[in-house]
């Protein structure tokens, strides 16, 4: 039988040790996101996630975020559907656990091109003439990002081969897109928001098209992790996914926090941020059939080396979304 002194020690241990125990049990997740208009709300997840401590870090591009994830510098990453397919093609361990926000791509032409908006016939005629003159049209994007693939898919669907009919210019950092178009170094650029709106509002480029008429549609952002993170920090992943769903619902109702975070993290003014959000749509679903179509398109464009449709389907985990939303996966893009 325990004495009064023993019972007192037990109670004291519970009182003074309980906080440490709770702290030790709190999941901790390192989260990475890219610096684009529809990616930046991920910086708000830290303040919204429940039952998990989230350390959120911004990276210059989705490629940088994916590298950090596969090298285990971070646990959860906001990338794109296209990065997801690329990672599977390279044999990396990535698992899609949520969507986030889609849209954000726009192709803009230089003023000297005098290209009417949405006029594919005029564009094809311009491409054909430039090629026959021995000076192919210079079209830029950040190689491998969603806007690059959207542009390539849309061009191909219109009969313009991006590998043969134009001269592709890679400008890795989207914040450099405006200057390249302004200096006349390129004729057209396919950029990401908010930089696309910045280019248009500054007069450096004119809207040509939103390149969504291809297999990827306007799908852009996915939240992914690794299987070892799911095995060891399932509660943490659930906390992030639940926060993404909650954040998306809030942003649909009120875009003010979204505008604030773009202004704060990019330095672009609120007019540009407001314009950028016209080309973005919160969407936490994981779109399975479109993902498989994206994989096929990327293979056609030779951005991946093999058919990864089986891996793409196998590595989609809807369980976190189902718990966060209370919906079945058939209602979440499956």
In this predicted model, what pLDDT tens digit does every residue of 19-71 receive, in sequence order?
444 445 788 999 999 988 999 999 999 999 998 999 999 998 888 999 999 99
Domain residue limits, the chain: 28-102+218-331, 105-209
Mean pLDDT of the chain: 91
- Token pair belonging to 34: 């890219």
Q: With CA atoms as reference, report the closest residue to 84 among 323, 308, 246.
A: 308
Architecture of domain 105-209 in this structure? 3-Layer(aba) Sandwich (3.40)
CA distance 126 to 247: 43
CA distance 334 to 96: 12
Contact 222, 174 (CB under 8 A): no
Q: Which fold has domain 28-102+218-331?
A: D-Maltodextrin-Binding Protein; domain 2 (3.40.190)
Dihedral angle of Cα 60, 36, 282, 46, to the nearest 10 degrees? 50
The dihedral through the CA atoms of 57, 62, 64, 69 has a sign that is positive
Instruction: Report the predicted TM-score, pTM, of the whole model to 2 decimal places.
Output: 0.84
- Token pair belonging to 301: 């464009």
CA distance 303 to 295: 9
- Indicate if 105-209 has the same CATH topology as 28-102+218-331: yes
pLDDT of residue 4: 52
* Residues of the chain where predicted confidence (pLDDT) is lower than 70: 1-24
């Amino acid at each position: 039988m325990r004495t009064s002194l023993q019972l007192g020690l037990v109670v004291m241990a519970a009182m003074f040790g309980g906080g440490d125990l709770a702290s030790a049990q709190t999941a901790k997740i390192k989260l990475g996101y890219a610096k684009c208009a529809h990616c930046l709300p991920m910086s708000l997840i830290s303040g919204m996630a429940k039952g998990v401590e989230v350390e959120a870090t911004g990276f210059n591009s989705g490629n940088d975020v994916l590298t950090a994830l596969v090298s285990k510098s971070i646990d959860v990453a906001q990338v794109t559907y296209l990065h997801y397919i690329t990672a599977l093609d390279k044999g990396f361990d990535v698992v899609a656990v949520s969507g986030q926000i889609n849209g954000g791509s726009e192709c803009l032409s230089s003023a000297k091109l005098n290209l009417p908006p949405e006029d594919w016939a005029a564009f094809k005629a311009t491409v054909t003439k430039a090629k026959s003159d021995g000076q192919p049209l210079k079209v830029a994007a950040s190689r491998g990002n969603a806007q690059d693939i959207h542009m390539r898919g849309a061009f191909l669907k219109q009969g313009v081969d991006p590998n043969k009919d134009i001269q592709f210019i890679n400008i890795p950092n989207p914040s450099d897109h405006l200057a390249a178009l302004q200096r006349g170094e390129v004729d057209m650029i396919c950029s990401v928001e908010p930089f696309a709106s910045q280019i248009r509002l500054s007069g450096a480029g004119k809207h040509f098209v939103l390149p969504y008429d291809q297999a990827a549609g306007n799908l852009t952002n996915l939240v992914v992790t690794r299987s070892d993170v799911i095995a060891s920090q399932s509660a943490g992943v659930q906390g992030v996914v639940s926060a993404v769903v909650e954040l998306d619902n809030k942003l649909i109702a009120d875009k003010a926090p979204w505008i604030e975070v773009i202004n704060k993290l990019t330095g672009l003014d609120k007019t540009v941020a407001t314009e950028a959000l016209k080309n973005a749509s919160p969407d936490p679903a994981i779109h399975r059939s479109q993902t498989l179509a994206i994989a096929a398109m990327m293979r056609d464009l030779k951005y991946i080396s093999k058919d990864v449709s089986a891996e793409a389907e196998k590595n989609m985990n809807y369980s976190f979304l189902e718990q966060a939303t209370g919906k079945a996966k058939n209602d979440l893009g499956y």
